[in-house]
Amino acid sequence: MKINLLTSTLSRKNLMALTGLFLCFFLLIHLLGNLQLLLPAAKASEMFNWYSDLLSTNIFIMMISYVLYFCLIAHAVDALVITLKNKKTAAKYVYDDRKQVSKWYSRNMGILGSLLLIFLVIHFKDFWYVYKFGALPYDRNGHKDLYAIVVNAFKSWWYVLIYVLAMIALGYHLLHGFKSAVRTLGLYHPRYAGYVQVFGIFYSYALSIGFAIIPIYVHLTQFGL
Amino acid sequence: MKLDAKIPAGPLADKWSSYKEHAKLVNPANRKKLPVIIIGTGLSGASAAASLAEQGYPVTSFCFQDSARRAHSVAAQGGVNAAKNYQNDGDSVYRMFYDTLKGGDFRSREANVYRLAECSLNLIDQAVAQGVPFAREYGGYLSNRSFGGVQVSRTFYARGQTGQQLLLGAYQALMKQVDLKKVTLHTRHEMLDLVVVDGKAKGVIVRNLDSGEIERYAAPAVVIATGGFGKIYYLSTLAMGCNASAIWRAHKRGALMACPSWTQIHPTCLPQAGDYQSKLTLMSESLRNDGRIWVPKLKDEKREANAIPEEERDYYLERRYPSFGNLAPRDIASRAAKERIDAGFGVGKQRNAVYLDFSKVIKEQGIDKVKEKYGNLFSMYKKITADDAYAAPMKISPAAHFSMGGLWVDYELMTTIPGLFAVGEANFADHGANRLGANSLLQASVDGYFILPYTLANYLAGELKAEKITTKHPQFDLAEKEVKEQLAKLIKIKGTKTADDFHKELGKLLYDKCGLSRSAAGLKEAIAGIQVLRAAFYKELIVSGEPGEINAELEKAGRVADYLEISELMCHDALSREESCGAHFREEYQTPDGEALRNDEKFCYVSAWEWAGKDIEPVLHPEPLVFEFVKLSVRSYS
Amino acid sequence: MKIHLKIWRQKDASTKGKLVDYDLDQVDQNMSFLEMIDTLNKQLILKGDTPVEFDHDCREGICGSCGMMINGQAHGPVPGLTVCQLHMREFAANETIYVEPFRALAFPVKRDLKVDRSSFDRIIQSGGYITANTGQPQEANAQLITHEIAEAAFDSAACIGCGACVATCKNSSAALFTSAKISHLVKLPQGKQEAAKRVLKMVAQMDAEGFGHCSNTEACEAKCPQGISVLNIARMNWEHLKAAIFKD
């Protein structure tokens, strides 16, 4: 039999897992950086702008960023390929109650992922694109004043709401995604698999709550209720 | 007809090696010219197919299930015996041979039984190498338990699923050969006739159960490995599809049937709950290691089990068989249960069960220990009955379980039709009048892995120069025509009773008259009853659908038609044997205290029966059993 | 009690099927689900209708023949059971019960509730064995296997091949079935020789049969009558990755 590793269902899932875990790692770093926004306004502005400047000028970080873009695209494209294949193999029942035995978010990673993709477009357009290609004012240290852009963006409550909803989607996506990725890569030891599962839950809550707090905090502290 | 068992001369321990040393061989280059047909993919059929294919014979295998992995060997729970003496408790090939011979009430051949014990050693090696996850000690050595009334621990087991694991080992070996194209496997095919040309087996007629087509296959050797026919009792521990059709149709083509009435009735099954019931589930015999069997001392006791005080309970096995107690062999335990139930002491709604009580062991060892040992059995019990066996005793009753009888075979496992072999439960060979626990998996495996590959070669060596018979031979036309006519006939009746209706009626009749205990009067009634039932079958049967399609009803009807004939032979067999031995208990022949009374003077033989024709009494050909090496003793367990 | 059934009837693979309504009186609480269908079938036969075809054999939960979707769940609502072990006491009087075959691209319907699961056999034959020709093996106790390893191998080996894992999976993945055999054999020392080849071939065959990806929803474990753990899938993934990377 011809064995083609690139098109095997397991290899496709491995790609999902590897890109997904890299994104998980990135998200953690991203969150740690963003937590600077919770500092008092003056301090936050200075630190955050310095940090953004560092990220955009450091050659090492730039290289990593290409990996990140690749992972994002590969994760999404691979997901599409897998979903299309699954649509073909999946069975349809007239009366279907299979949902009883699995979590809704584990069955709907595609939908959660699509929501996150839409969110990412908004997120990139409003911050990444503006920072890279837009005309930005400079702060007193000579760094691009991304802080001002961020604060301004969170002025409207509906924009904050979009962020919070997206982070809920992210939370569920991670809740299944992290565990699933580790499984896909083959962590089979019953004891360690248990630890990883607990870590995954903790991580997912921490990330989604952490990210969601920032726009709420900024909105409340800068613009009140 | 003079039956020749072809037992090799020489000392008991050397017979099998001497046979192997002198048997004819087939040159590897010639093996591919000698195809073999194997009917059945259970433990014996799959192991035979894999072993023969490994040697280079082109094998064609058939099974009626949708996968070879589903044969009923899969359901054997307890274990498999082997005289490894890993426990250093005095076991040996001889000891195992003697236990098996004695367990079978000295109604089997010394040489066969010795070979069974001898080959048991290799079987464990083979199974372990295939990846059968037998139970192990913490240090890594194989673990054993004592099973079925023997005094050594020689049973190897894989939890309560030993049969499944052994079968999967054989199935995987078979599937490897399928992948290598050395075995052609036809699932969902049922053998409906044997084709005999000039007195030799040359092929089979099978029905493709998915398309309904009738197909022909020719080969110089046919192996029947279709298992037992205890399903004839309808309510049994067997699978719904287990049947006697292959062996019965071979019988009608000239193969003798040996001791067909010897059926093991297993003592620890779940009792019947209603008329709709289709089978009786076996609860592992291992439960008897710790459970105590009792019935109330009071007839028609109305109280719940736990409300009956200790002194009003009759632990009848402990009472009657003090040295073995609850571990008395299966036939004895079953008969004792039936005796109590018939005497009016039965428990449960239908008064058809006895209690199997774990309160003592729970008190002594704690509930956790019991859970660890029997947890899965207790939960299975709860699934089926909705009762909690930790809180109140289980209710169990005997049910038909294993056919010691089957096609008569000689030492080479060949039937009286040259070229037709029978292996596993389908033959009558090693178990005598009663099979010991954990010996059935052993016999099936040993037949397939270690015996047939030698004896079949010995036969095939002589077939190399024989004329090659193809499926174009007129005998195939004839057999196919008969098969098609029978199928059409069954469908044409268009009566008002289903095959299951007849099967249930037959089963009840047989269980009552030719089951745990038999009497001349009862057996004669049964023969008359079966004849009436058979006549009714061909007038009142209803089968839906057509022969040329998937048709489960037609499959059933064909099997029941055969059951209605073999059952009569069973009764003749039981009637002619005027003694009690093993599972065969004739009420007229018992000691004053109700134990079996064997008659070695007159009945120390295997009853081999010849088909004489429709509605003609079968002809008995006794094969005398000669005991050169052991002295016949009374099988006493009291 | 009385029940209403909606059973999938389909003449053959190429004919379109549909749910057909049946009413059944006098259903006993202690009947097994299959005995209930037996009862229905008898009525159908006597009326001159075609009985419902379904796979079944041992009726004690070990052969893996039976399997159907009952009220939208593989083997019905009770976990840890095959259909033959499911009893009517689990259903309410007058309940409407939907019965459909196990479905998947790789499990074409043969008739009514009977499906073709030969894809499972082909997965096994592609590599689900340890090569040990008859007569070759060494003495059984020559290689020690600890109790824990033997038990773990058994846990994986207990699979009965019923197909509930596939039927209940949203992608019709056979990952649990395939991985159970891979882990069973690779956990044992005698299975390690062929481990890399086995996993590559079995996974390739699984894909070729048209089973979907594993999304780790764990529905398969929840519906497995033998409670085969999803960690077997992780083990398969690991073995596959290892074999794919270090394949010569």
pLDDT tens digit sequence for A9-64: 999 999 999 999 999 999 999 999 999 999 999 999 999 999 999 998 899 999 99
C-alpha to C-alpha distances, B282 to A39, A182, B238, B419, C61, nearest whole angstrom: 71, 42, 9, 36, 12
Round to whole Å and give the CA distance between B262 and B435.
Answer: 10
Q: Which amino acid is at B432?
A: G
What SS3 state is found at B485?
helix
Q: Is it the case that residue A1 has pLDDT exceeding 60?
A: no
CB contact under 8 A, A184 and C214: yes
What SS3 state is found at C246?
helix
* Phi–psi pair at B262, nearest 5 degrees: -80, 100
What SS3 state is found at B627?
coil
Q: What would the pLDDT profile of B225-248 be if each residue is shown by its tens digit?
A: 999 999 999 999 999 999 999 999
Q: Which amino acid is at A104?
A: W
Strands B420-422 and C109-111: unpaired
Round to whole Å and give the CA distance between B93 and A201.
Answer: 59
CB contact under 8 A, B544 and C44: yes
* Options B31, B330, B335, B598, the catalytic residue: B330
The alpha-helical segments, DSSP class H, found in B91-244 are 93-103, 110-130, 162-179
Q: Is C167 on the interface with A (CB under 8 A)?
A: yes
Q: How many CB atoms lie within 10 A of CB B590?
A: 14
Q: Is B61 on the interface with C (CB under 8 A)?
A: no
pLDDT recorded at residue B177: 98
Which residues of chain A have a CB within 8 Å of the CB of C69?
93, 95
User: Would residue B330 show up in a list of annotated catalytic residues for this protein?
Assistant: yes
Q: Which two tokens stand for residue C8?
A: 């999938």
Identify whether the C-beta of residue C42 lies closer than 8 Å to the C-beta of residue B500. Answer: yes
Residues 6 or more apart whose Cβ sits within 8 Å of residue C73: A97, A98, A100, A101, C168, C223
pLDDT recorded at residue B466: 93
Q: What would the pLDDT profile of B304-336 be if each residue is shown by its tens digit?
A: 999 999 999 999 999 999 988 998 888 889 999
All domains of chain C, ordered by start, with CATH? 3-111 (3.10.20.30), 118-133+142-246 (1.10.1060.10)
CB contact under 8 A, B136 and C188: no
Round to whole Å and give the CA distance between A98 and C185.
Answer: 30
- Find the angle CA(B341)-CA(B346)-CA(B351) to the nearest 5 degrees: 110
Counting as low any pLDDT under 50, the low residues of chain B are none
Residue C231 host element (H or E): helix C231-246
User: Chain C closest CA to A177's CA: distance in Å?
Assistant: 9
Report the number of secondary-structure helices (H) and strands (E) in chain C.
Answer: 8, 7
pLDDT recorded at residue C181: 98
Interface test with B, best of C34, C37, C42, C124 (most B CBs within 10 A): C124
**Count of CB contacts below 8 A, A vs C?**
157
Residue with tokens 């200075």: A46
Q: Is A6 on the interface with C (CB under 8 A)?
A: no
Alpha carbons within 13 A on the beta-carbon side of C56: 26
Interface of C with B in 206-235 (CB under 8 A): none
* Chain C partners (3+ C-beta pairs within 8 A): A, B
- Comparing CB atoms, the residue among C28, C56, C62 nearest residue B161 is C62
Which residues of chain A have a CB within 8 Å of the CB of C211?
9, 89
SS3 content of chain C, % helix, strand, coil (to 5): 40, 15, 45
Interface test with A, best of C169, C207, C211, C230 (most A CBs within 10 A): C207
User: Chain C closest CA to A116's CA: distance in Å?
Assistant: 18
Q: Is A11 on the interface with C (CB under 8 A)?
A: yes
What SS3 state is found at C139?
coil
Identify whether the C-beta of residue C27 lies closer than 8 Å to the C-beta of residue C3. Answer: yes
Which residues of chain C have a CB within 8 Å of the CB of A179?
216
CB contact under 8 A, C154 and B159: yes
Round to whole Å and give the CA distance between B408 and B611.
Answer: 13
Partner residues linked to B216 by β-bridges:
B205
CB contact under 8 A, B139 and C154: no
B28-33: which pairs have CB atoms within 8 A and are 24 or more residues apart? B28/B55, B28/B56, B30/B464, B31/B55, B31/B56, B31/B57, B32/B56, B32/B57, B32/B58, B33/B464
Round to whole Å and give the CA distance between A101 and C76.
Answer: 12
Q: Is C73 on the interface with A (CB under 8 A)?
A: yes
In this prediction, residues A160-179 reach a mean pLDDT of 97
Q: How many CB atoms lie within 10 A of CB B198?
A: 10
CB contact under 8 A, B544 and C51: yes
Average pLDDT, chain B: 96
User: Chain B closest CA to C45's CA: distance in Å?
Assistant: 6
Round to whole Å and give the CA distance between B558 and B552.
Answer: 10
Per CATH, the number for A2-223 is 1.20.1300.10
Partner residues linked to B624 by β-bridges:
B605
- Comparing CB atoms, the residue among C69, C200, C235 nearest residue A188 is C235
Q: How confident is the model at residue C248 (pLDDT cuts 50, 70, 90)?
A: low
CB contact under 8 A, C140 and B176: no
User: Chain C closest CA to A179's CA: distance in Å?
Assistant: 9
Partner residues linked to B497 by β-bridges:
B541
Q: What would the pLDDT profile of C191-222 be if each residue is shown by its tens digit?
A: 999 999 999 999 999 999 999 999 999 999 99
Q: How many CB atoms lie within 10 A of CB B391?
A: 11
pLDDT recorded at residue B429: 86
Round to whole Å and give the CA distance between B465 and B52.
Answer: 20
Q: What would the pLDDT profile of C139-196 be if each residue is shown by its tens digit?
A: 999 999 999 999 999 999 999 999 999 999 999 999 999 999 999 999 999 999 999 9
Identify whether the C-beta of residue C218 lies closer than 8 Å to the C-beta of residue A163. Answer: no
CB contact under 8 A, A101 and C73: yes
CA-based Rg of chain A, rounded to a whole angstrom? 20
- Comparing CB atoms, the residue among B122, B550, B553 nearest residue C111 is B550
pLDDT recorded at residue B351: 93
Residue B610 host element (H or E): strand B605-610
Q: How far is CA A171 from the centre of its chain?
A: 9
What string of H, E and C letters represents the secondary structure of B107-147? CCCHHHHHHHHHHHHHHHHHHHHHCCCCCECCCCCECCECC
pTM of this structure: 0.96
pLDDT recorded at residue B638: 67
Residue with tokens 């673990």: B143
* Chain B partners (3+ C-beta pairs within 8 A): C
Round to whole Å and give the CA distance between C4 and C20.
Answer: 10
pLDDT recorded at residue A222: 87
Interface of C with A in 25-64 (CB under 8 A): none
In chain B, the residue whose alpha carbon lies closest to the alpha carbon of C183 is B131
Instruction: Kindly state the DSSP code that residue B307 receives in the 8-state scheme.
Output: G
Please provide the distance, in angstroms rounded to a whole number, between the alpha carbons at the two ends of chain B: 41
Q: What would the pLDDT profile of C58-86 be if each residue is shown by its tens digit?
A: 999 999 999 999 999 999 999 999 999 99
What string of H, E and C letters represents the secondary structure of B242-288? CCCHHHHHHHHCCCCEECCCCEEEEEEECCCCCCCCCCCCECCHHHH
Q: Is C121 on the interface with B (CB under 8 A)?
A: yes
Partner residues linked to B123 by β-bridges:
none
Identify whether the C-beta of residue B82 lies closer than 8 Å to the C-beta of residue B154. Answer: yes
Residue with tokens 């048997």: B23
Kindly indicate whether the ipTM for this predicted assembly is greater than 0.85, answering yes or no. Answer: yes
Q: Which two tokens stand for residue B343?
A: 């005497």
Q: Which amino acid is at B452?
A: L
* Chain A partners (3+ C-beta pairs within 8 A): C
C-alpha to C-alpha distances, B20 to B397, B411, B416, nearest whole angstrom: 44, 12, 21
Identify whether the C-beta of residue C65 lies closer than 8 Å to the C-beta of residue C56. Answer: yes
Q: Is the Cα dihedral B364, B369, B371, B376 positive or negative?
A: negative
Q: Is A92 on the interface with C (CB under 8 A)?
A: yes
What SS3 state is found at B413?
coil
Q: How confident is the model at residue A6 (pLDDT cuts 50, 70, 90)?
A: confident
Q: Is C13 on the interface with B (CB under 8 A)?
A: no
- Which letter, b or e, does each residue of B287-323 get, where b requires 16 or more Cβ atoms within 10 Å of its Cβ? bbebbbbbbbeeeebeeebeebeeeebbbbbeebbee
The arrangement of strands across the sheet holding B394-403 comes to: B263-269, B394-403, B354-357, B292-296, B313-314
